[in-house]
Amino acid sequence: MKNVKCECGHINHEGTVLCEACGKPIEGNQHIDGNDDNKVLNMRYEGSARRSRTYKRTIIDKTWNFFSSVKVGVWLIALALIAAAIGTIYPQEEFKNSVLPSSQFYEEQYGLTGKIFYQLGFHNLYSSWWFVTLIALIGISLVICSIDRVVPLYRALKNQKAKRHEIFVRRQRFFSETEQTSDEDRQTFMNNLRKRRYKITEDDGHILAEKNRFSRWGPYVNHIGLIIILIASILRMFDFMHTEGYVWVREGETKVVPTTDQEYYIKNEKFIYETYDRNDERFQEALKNEEFNVPSNFQTNVVIYKVKEKVTLGQEPELEEVARGEIRLNQPLTFDGYSAYQSGTQLRSEYNLISFNVENGEGQQIGMFEFRPNDDQRTYELGNDYKAEIQEYYPQFEITENGPSSFSKFPRNPGIIFEITGPNVEGERYFYLNEDVVPLSDDNEFQVSLEDTQLITASGLIIKKDYSLPFFLIGATIFMIGVAQGLYWHHRRVWLHPKDGKLLVAGHTNKNWFGLQKDIEASLKDTNIEMVKDQQEKF
């Protein structure tokens, strides 16, 4: 135990550089802040004992000291920054937008660097265990660094005495020495400082004038904000605080709302796509050089249903309407804590209806039928015993090595084989593809033509629930308060030290020395006290 008793009587912790009470440099510790080589004392943390620099005994102390080092903290932040930056080079796994598994996707798409990216785990960086650990270590460093600095700083500022040691005063950056001063001079000086909102403490003729001490707490307030943000991001990992899902709903379709545990259904009543009017005077100038129309609105009109009673998967639940509204870009529809955001469109990409007109050889109409790709109707009555029957249907037609097939279940490019039969006709087959009807046999009794088609839009909606945002807001607000507190206010101190009939004046501030100089200059007006000089420039 090497507590150090200063000649002023104050007992300082081991590792103290400047006595907490009188500021006298403590012998043997001056190397810590590099005071050996400089005339001006290093005033950071008031020369208090940072515990990180001392006690290294138990594992707890060693761990503590490791995290208490600002150097370690800066390294952790640098590593996290570099890793986070690398993670943005290629898309993350959830955004790769490909059916290929990740093990193939990155190599095929980006070559060797992509392969390395994948193998090092950067494709899933932000939830990877080591990245999360890195962020957690930064959090630990933040807490411990703050505790280890705010406590000694608080103690030092609380214990400081107006009466300082001569060496402390002489070795301040701002210093002057006046041979002859009157009491009036000192009084004027003090009153002027008081007017500038300095708080004056007097002790045996020694004076301390101090203002804006609270600005010293800025960094720690800022760190509290950061810690709250970290806590908010932990909360965000839990489903009760935050969920996010994505669903494609086609016009007319009703779908389960993802992430709601099958509790909500959403129906796309209608999708509205609008563009800026080229004839509108207001837009003509802007649209002059635009080759394509510029969209002005993507909108889904939806109905939200809640299930009345939970049913076994696969059964149709009874639904109850709970919300209805229009979803536009950045104008979500909110229901029971969930918000549905417009975020994707497959504009008029799927057929909802394809209708055919059937005529006989003489050009007389026999009938019409409407094929709806998502309905299961196989046969259509044309009247007078004429019938159409769907034989094969390929929602998104393609030819594979196994013959005709479909690329997906969505009717984006339907191929249909159907047969028309009538009272005296055996059955004639036709093939529909690309809005064209081709007979599959040579002599045809019928004339089949395409009557009409109807396209629908698939709307992509993000379903989001986020109760963690208020916590982020609180954290960010405290963070900003801390920044402002530390940046826009400055902790300024002036000491008056009478010594053998002389008056020593010293000044210190944590930033903006020019401001302190102006304060002192203005306060010394009409006195004979010497203006302080900046001693740092001498070295």
Interacting residue ranges for other proteins, rule: CB under 8 A: 1, 3, 5, 11, 13, 51, 55, 58, 60-61, 63-64, 99, 124, 127, 129, 132-133, 136-137, 139-140, 143-144, 147, 234, 237-238, 254-256, 258, 262, 312-315, 373-376, 378, 390-396, 400, 402, 405-411
Which secondary-structure segment (H or E) carries 307? strand 295-307
Nearer to other proteins, 31 or 378 (CB): 378
Cβ count near 102 (within 10 Å):
14
Nearer to other proteins, 67 or 298 (CB): 67
Nearer to other proteins, 195 or 378 (CB): 378
Nearer to other proteins, 356 or 489 (CB): 356
CA–CA separation, 469 vs 478, rounded Å? 14
CB of residue 330 vs other proteins: minimum separation in angstroms?
27
Minimum separation from the CB atom of position 30 to other proteins (A): 22
CA 333: distance to chain centroid? 22
Q: How far is the CB of 99 from other proteins (least distance, A)?
A: 7
Spatial separation of the C-alpha atoms in residues 321 and 315, rounded to whole Å: 18
Are the C-beta atoms of 339 and 332 separated by less than 8 Å? yes
Q: Which is nearer to other proteins, 68 or 485 (CB)?
A: 68
Residue whose pair of structure tokens reads 């993670």 in the numeric block: 87
Bridge partners (DSSP) of residue 301 are: 270, 326
394 SS3 class: strand
Nearer of residues 164 and 242 to other proteins, judged by Cβ: 242
Which of 69, 374 has the CB closer to other proteins?
A: 374
CB closer to other proteins, 262 vs 441: 262
Shortest CA distance to 387 belongs to which of 419, 424, 416? 419
For tokens 């536009």, the residue is 328
Angle, in degrees to the nearest 10, between helices 59-68 and 70-86: 60
For other proteins, the closer of residues 224 and 532 by Cβ is 224
State how far the Cα of 236 lies from the Cα of 242, in Å rounded to an integer: 5
Q: Quick one: DSSP state of residue 95?
A: G
The amino acid present at 428, given as its one-letter code, is E
Shortest Å, Cβ 11 to other proteins? 5
Nearest alpha-carbon partner for 404 in 412, 435, 395? 395
Q: Which residues contact 37 (CB under 8 A, 6 or more apart)?
A: none
Task: Answer for the pair 410, 419: CB distance below 8 angstroms, yes or no.
Answer: no
CB of 400 to other proteins, least distance (A): 6
Which tokens belong to 140? 């630990």
Instruction: Give 312 or 424: the residue with its C-beta nearer to other proteins.
Output: 312
The least CB distance from residue 430 to other proteins, in Å, is 16
CB atoms within 10 A of CB 285: 8
Report in angstroms how near the CB of residue 344 gets to other proteins at its nearest.
17
Smallest distance from other proteins to CB 365, Å:
26
Task: Report, in Å, the least distance between residue 17 CB and other proteins.
Answer: 18
Are the beta carbons of 45 and 32 closer than 8 angstroms?
no
Quick one: three-class SS letters along 114-159?
A: HHHHHHCCHHHHHHCHHHHHHHHHHHHHHHHHHHHHHHHHHHHHHH
Minimum distance, C-beta of residue 45 to other proteins, in the bound complex (Å): 18
